[in-house]
Copies of this chain bind each other. A is one copy, B any other.
Amino acid sequence: MTSQPPDPAPATRGDRELRADARRNRERVLRTAQQLFATDGLGVSLDEIARRAGVGPGTVHRHFPAKEALYLAVAIDQIRQLVAEAETLTAAEDPEALYSLLSRMMANGAENVAVKSALVAAEFDLRTAAPDVAADLTRHVADLLERAHAASAVRADVTADEVMALVAGAFAAIRHAGAETSRDRAAHIAQLILDGLRPR
């Protein structure tokens, strides 16, 4: 992901609309790709993704010349969505917010296991490829944990590092049980792990 060069001239209204259009298209491509990867596996073609997203094939090939670039963009987009959910949860002042966010993170990881495995195989590390967005999510988890501690909604002896480790543990457990494609089974395993965080 290189950043765009600055515009040589102030944007006209037409330029801005074009850019907003491009952004929406890119987002539609990423969400469609994420869904197709989760349901059909990573073998789905760029052309099929374009067709299902309702954009021209050129749009997808231009943005994502290599499939790995698309995997990475999908994974980063997923974390951005989790960060957006975390912001909503943080605003709501609910001590249960920690559990809601962690459930979403665990479900998300289980759904996107194929993309994540491909990135690991290609030696991409999200914490290196997208340090800001990964750090944002970690910070939100730490904030919500602090609130849950204050509300005695979580056991006193659990740290933010342990919570992040348990999210990774949930992915592994779900994979071990072969439950990646069963939302209910994956959710139950996540629930078992999250219940271990409750005060006793």
Show the binding face of A for B, using Cβ within 8 Å: 155, 157-158, 161-162, 164-166, 168-177, 179, 188-189, 192-198, 200
Name the residue of chain B whose CB is nearest to the CB of A195: B196
CA distance A157 to B195 in the complex (A): 13
Which of the residues B162, B168, B174 comes within 8 Å of A165, measured between beta carbons?
A: B174
A123 CB → nearest B CB, Å: 14
Q: SS class of chain A's interface: helix, strand, loop or mixed? A: helix
| CB pair B188 A166 closer than 8 Å | no
Residue of B157, B170, B176, B189 near A188 (CB, 8 A) is B157
Known: A192-B197, A196-B196. A166 touches B173 (CB 8 A): yes
Separation of A168 and B175 alpha carbons in the complex (Å): 9
Known: A162-B188, A188-B157. A193 touches B169 (CB 8 A): yes
Q: Which chain B residue shows the least CB distance to A193?
A: B196
In the complex, what residues of B have CB within 8 A of residue A198's CB?
A: 200
CB distance from A161 to the nearest CB of B (A): 6
Q: How far is the CA of A132 from the CA of B175 in the complex (A)?
A: 23
Closest to A164 in B: B176
A-B complex: 8 closest residue pairs judged by Cβ atoms: A169-B173, A196-B196, A172-B172, A168-B176, A165-B177, A169-B169, A165-B173, A165-B176
